[in-house]
Chain A
Amino acid sequence: MKHKSKESFFKIGVFLMLLSFLAGCSISHSVSSSSDSSRSISRSSTSSSGSQIPEETRKAYVKDVTTYVSAIGRSDIASDNFMRGIGSIAERHSIADWENYKFTYIAIGKGLKQAGLSRDEIADLPYLKPLIKADASRLKYIMEGYDS
């Protein structure tokens, strides 16, 4: 009898341990909303902290634009849609005027290289033409990114 109770005690233990692991990465319960509320205030407040943020944001932006452009490559995407795509990435990184931000063009150059385009093809890409036409220095930055 004693042996049996020990065994069931053990089984319950194993079950509870498994349950605690199974609780997985997203199960949650809210004992009280206030707790999470106070913590969410602290998370919200500290999300703008950190001296490395500007540098990290710039790096992440360049990587995202590079990846986006490498996915587009030689496609016949309209320049409007291309710019909407860049605009959406820029907004996620809190950049309002991505056209006047040289790292946008450096990232475009990197992305075109990743996509396997040759230097000569770049200036003729239909989706880039309006951007390049508006300011010649943009092509220079694109080439800089391409060569980096």
Chain B
Amino acid sequence: MRCNPRYLGLFTALLLYFLFPAPCESKSDFSPFGLVYIESNTGGASGGHCGLRLKSVVFHLQQQDDGFFKLVRQPWDDFLHVYNDIENRPVHFANTQLPSKNLGALETYFLKLLLAQNRNFENLQRLKTEAQLLEGLLKKGTVAISVKGLGFFEKAPTGHCFSEAARVKKLVEREMGPDFFKVDNSGGPFQAFPQLVEPPKLPMSKVELVPIAGILSSKVQDDLSLKMFKRVISGCLPLRKDVLMDGGPIERSLKRRIEGYSRWLEKSIVTLLASSRPDRGNAALLQLARLYAVRKSILSGRLLMLDTFPDDCQAVGFKEYKHDLAALGGLLRTLEKRLRDTKEKYARLKEIDQIQFNLLENLVSRYGELKKALANKGPVRIWSGLTLPAKASLINFPYKTDRRGLEESLQRAKRAYTSYLERLKRLYHYNLLKRNCVTELSSELNSCKEAGPFPKETGVGIPFLYFQKWLSQMNVKRVEYYPSYRIRKLNVLYEKESPLVVYLREFNTLTSTLYHPHQVDTSFLVFSDDVLWLRPLYGCINIAYAGFNVAAGLVESPLDGARRLRRGFWGVVYSVPELFMSNIRKGTFVWVPSQ
């Protein structure tokens, strides 16, 4: 009665293949393209998810923390690691043949969507800042503005000019002229505030790249960041100690690469200052902070990098992760190894470029943060993706103001922000039935006329059904099946040990060596994703087990904040489909290494 996961996976793949036979397979290579279907599990996307693989990336739609439903581009490996490994969901990829011309058109279309989306949300932020600036100016006569990169430096001079600062100052003076630091360095009300507020152009569709809006706020920020750069240099302001993360010792060859990078940073600072790039002040502040950090590294013999965590990132407290210390310990060891490998790799390079350097900054920050948190039982800051270090500092800057018209400008800025927000709500809102990952993906695919036609989702967007539609209507060469992480590991165990012993040990959450119960997963006792006919029986067992936890949770509620009660309740909910041969819950992991 037990269904070996190997066979269940094979069965699914064969079923899909025979239900939707593919035409004769050509032996010629073609770029990976097609629909990706991710099976259900507990947590987010519990009914499954869909994405579009285009070569080495996946485009998919996700509801974000701000409530908007946005297009996300994710590298394929990263996508698999999240959904297939950590979330332990089986993934199906319908590798589909599409003429390269159509594929190119589709890729360009999705990139345009992404560019337009980024522009729209940047515009919204600028318009918001613009209204805030005008409001502050009207009320207080000063502009409270956040200058990116300024937060890396001490606020006041330490009394003496350290050698590196003196050197950079001399270098800038040589390149830019001795008057460079004398201009606009008073810090007083030196100029009138520009009051021109232009109405933004509202996007008519998701693919329209509208002009940049809220230029006023950007201009003020650009202007102040350049002034702050001059202030940091002329005041010899050193780096703050708490902005550096320690990436361990550096070997001689890596030191040489880093010395090379410091020379490039000097060149970069000078070029930026001479440039007509409007935001050069921000970039110059960052490059200066990096230069100081690199010099400190060379002097100390330790890899000191700027902290890359954004100021507004979230943090997870010890109380929230204390149950998962073993998994996080494993993660720390992996990060340590990656950092060591990266350092060794960089030591062998001829030179380090900007992207490589930033990767190292991010790696050191992630490693340093987790190491410190685990050692001190403190909070861990979290942020997904690579970022440029950008510690901001809020400054109040006085401006001469002409109050006439300022009130009107403020009203105009507020109206501009509201109308832009309303438009974006209309373009990027989420609706479980009408606008979800399936309906939006289908709609965008069919909007790209040069690449289509593609299957249309006319009804409720159900990932599984849309995947079936894709298989039946598209030129699918093969369906690639990626079993979930636990099933893959189970298969390895079946080959090494007695299948009966493995099954009896791994079929339940109490004795399993592969899976360790943790807080995200609802209460359950037995895995029903690798059995078919036994599923209703397992469902009964899981309901009984979860029901017991509900009862115990009621008693424990005052002590554990109803945590056990909630797990028990959702345990019952997710066990009910098992009674009807359907499986949602597969168990998930806090962390597993990338395959």
A53 proximal to B (CB < 8 A): yes
Q: Is the CB of B437 within 8 A of A25?
A: yes
Determine how close the nearest CB of chain B comes to the CB of A12; give it in whole angstroms. 8
B448 proximal to A (CB < 8 A): no
Identify which of B118, B322, B465, B520 gathers the most chain A CB atoms within 10 Å of its CB: B520
Identify which of B69, B277, B590 gathers the most chain A CB atoms within 10 Å of its CB: B277
Chain B residues 106-138 with CB under 8 Å of chain A are 107-108, 111-112, 114-115, 118-119, 122
Main secondary structure of the interface of A (DSSP, over half): helix
A8 proximal to B (CB < 8 A): no
Q: Is the CB of B286 within 8 A of A87?
A: no
The residues of B that contact A148 with a CB separation of less than 8 Å are none
Contact with A along B136-156 (1 / 0, CB 8 A): 000000000000000000000
Q: Is the CB of A20 within 8 A of B47?
A: yes
Kindly list 5 other residue pairs between chains A and B, CB separation below 8 angstroms, not including A26-B63, A28-B45, A134-B276.
A34-B321, A34-B324, A52-B77, A83-B279, A130-B276
Q: Is the CB of B580 within 8 A of A13?
A: yes
Q: Is the CB of B56 within 8 A of A64?
A: no
Q: Is the CB of B82 within 8 A of A38?
A: no
CA distance A40 to B75 in the complex (A): 18
The residues of B that contact A34 with a CB separation of less than 8 Å are 319-324, 519
The residues of B that contact A68 with a CB separation of less than 8 Å are 115, 209
A5 proximal to B (CB < 8 A): no
Q: Given B278, B341, B591, B594, which contacts A39 in the complex, CB threshold below 8 Å?
A: B591
Q: Is the CB of B44 within 8 A of A28?
A: yes
CA distance A6 to B57 in the complex (A): 47
Q: Is the CB of B272 within 8 A of A45?
A: no
B532 proximal to A (CB < 8 A): no
The number of chain A residues touching the other chain, given as a range, is: 35 or more
Q: Is the CB of A21 within 8 A of B276?
A: no
| Nearest chain B residue, comparing its CB with the CB of A39 | B590
The residues of A that contact B114 with a CB separation of less than 8 Å are 64
Interface residues of A (CB under 8 A from B): 12-14, 16-17, 20-29, 31-54, 56-61, 63-64, 67-68, 70-71, 77, 79-81, 83-85, 87-89, 91-97, 99-101, 114, 130, 134
Determine how close the nearest CB of chain A comes to the CB of B340; give it in whole angstroms. 13
Q: Is the CB of B211 within 8 A of A20?
A: no
The residues of A that contact B355 with a CB separation of less than 8 Å are 53-54, 57-58, 61, 93-95
The residues of A that contact B331 with a CB separation of less than 8 Å are 41-42, 45-46
The residues of B that contact A64 with a CB separation of less than 8 Å are 111, 114-115
The residues of A that contact B112 with a CB separation of less than 8 Å are 67, 71
| Nearest chain A residue, comparing its CB with the CB of B580 | A13
The residues of B that contact A33 with a CB separation of less than 8 Å are 320
Q: Is the CB of A26 within 8 A of B436?
A: yes
CA distance A35 to B589 in the complex (A): 9
B563 proximal to A (CB < 8 A): yes
Stretch from B175-183, B382-390, B477-485 contacting the other chain: B382-390
CA distance A81 to B278 in the complex (A): 9
B263 proximal to A (CB < 8 A): no
Determine how close the nearest CB of chain A comes to the CB of B510; give it in whole angstroms. 18
B472 proximal to A (CB < 8 A): no
**Given known A27-B432, A42-B590, A47-B386, contact A97–B46 (CB-CB < 8 A):** no
Q: Is the CB of A39 within 8 A of B46?
A: no
Q: Given A24, A53, A77, which contacts B359 in the complex, CB threshold below 8 Å?
A: A53
The residues of B that contact A96 with a CB separation of less than 8 Å are 268, 283, 286-287, 354, 358, 388
